[in-house]
Chains A and B, each alone.
Chain A
Amino acid sequence: QKEVEQDPGPLSVPEGAIVSLNCTYSNSAFQYFMWYRQYSRKGPELLMYTYSSGNKEDGRFTAQVDKSSKYISLFIRDSQPSDSATYLCAMRNSGYALNFGKGTSLLVTP
């Protein structure tokens, strides 16, 4: 079993929809949780960072961490065609190595 599981999609939604992206993990030592957005032929761009459990909101984006269920989510409200990208979850324990999911491909259609 991989430490971080993420459904690769693709996920297709109409413009304006609420998007829910999720990852599960097996290592209870993970404390730091991140979401990256990666456009085609570009490097990952940090979107959201959360420490331990709880919610964090930034504009149209909300990150949730449920450590008891080993489950993290990213919600995108009022999705736009410019949100079309691959979304990568990443997490780590007290060390520096990031453990990534495989990424979910999202397409927002006008």
Chain B
Amino acid sequence: SAVISQKPSRDICQRGTSLTIQCQVDSQVTMMFWYRQQPGQSLTLIATANQGSEATYESGFVIDKFPISRPNLTFSTLTVSNMSPEDSSIYLCSAEGGGETQYFGPGTRLLVL
């Protein structure tokens, strides 16, 4: 199984600012994913990050709000731009595992004031 780390683990930000979350995997993977987990809600996929190509965004999420980078096969970043209190959430990075599964990082807890 892949071991995934995320930075920062938590942050408190002011509205209108941006935060970049980093995700590091201990092995090379083709597919990485970014999810949002809001209180009382299901984990929701934001986008799929493929190395060497543009990220693929799910319905309701746009690149201007959540730009993603994937510079190599072990690293990705998600930026939450022009934040509002509604962006307060847990943001999770995941990577494809062997076979058909996904492994998750510990998450980044974001509070926007």
Chain A residues engaging chain B, CB cutoff 8 angstroms: 2, 4, 8, 32, 34, 36, 41-46, 49, 51, 88, 90, 92, 96-103
Interface size class on chain B is 20 to 34
Residues of B within 8 A of A88 (CB): 43
B45 touches A43 (CB 8 A): no
Partner of A43 from the list B40, B58, B92, B99 (CB cut-off 8 Å) is B92
CA distance A102 to B37 in the complex (A): 10
CA A46 to CA B109, docked complex, whole Å: 20
Chain B residues with CB below 8 A from A44, complex form: 43, 92, 104
Chain B neighbourhood of A46, CB < 8 A: 1, 97, 101-104
- Supply 20 further A-B pairs (C-beta < 8 A) apart from A2-B42, A46-B103: A4-B42, A32-B100, A34-B101, A42-B106, A43-B92, A43-B106, A44-B43, A45-B104, A46-B97, A46-B101, A46-B104, A88-B43, A90-B43, A92-B100, A96-B31, A96-B96, A97-B58, A98-B102, A102-B40, A103-B42
Residue of B nearest to A89 (CB): B42
Count contacts between A and B, CB distance < 8 Å.
55
* Proximity bits, B71-113, A CB within 8 Å = 1, else 0: 0000000000000000000001000110111111111010000
Distance of A46 Cα from B58 Cα, bound (Å) = 23
